[in-house]
């Protein structure tokens, strides 16, 4: 992510209350602060690979917001897919 996802831009937290989705990226305020939440109940019995994939997925959403102001959490278009391919290369 080329140093764009700093501690001033993104907070990553485990959530014991999230039970419907494995991860979620939300945006706070008018600045470029994001919260990535990972579901403890859904991920605690998953492999480390699945946890990493979930984290990376949400980090791409955070990166899209921090770099371009894209707040659409459902956006899995060309920019999202290109970043995913770059990470997996």
pLDDT tens digit sequence for 38-63: 999 999 999 999 999 999 999 999 99
Q: Contact, 18 vs 26, CB < 8 A?
A: no
* Catalytic residue (choose from 13, 50, 53, 58): 58
58 catalytic? Reply is: yes
How many other C-beta atoms lie within 10 A of the C-beta of residue 9? 18
Strand partners, 33: 28
Angle between helix 48-68 and helix 78-88 axes, rounded to 10 deg: 130
pTM (2 d.p.):
0.87
Alpha carbons 30 and 53: distance in angstroms, whole number:
28
Taking alpha carbons only, the member of 83, 60, 72 closest to residue 27 is: 72
26-40 tens-digit pLDDT: 987 666 688 999 999
């Amino acid at each position: 992510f080329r140093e764009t996802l700093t501690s001033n831009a993104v907070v990553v937290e485990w959530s014991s209350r999230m039970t419907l989705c494995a991860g979620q990226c939300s945006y706070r305020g008018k600045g470029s602060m994001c919260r990535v939440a990972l579901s403890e109940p859904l991920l605690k019995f998953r492999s480390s690979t699945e946890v990493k994939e979930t984290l990376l997925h949400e980090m791409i959403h955070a990166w899209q917001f921090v770099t371009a102001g894209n707040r659409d959490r459902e956006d899995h278009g060309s920019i999202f897919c290109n970043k995913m391919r770059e990470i997996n290369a």
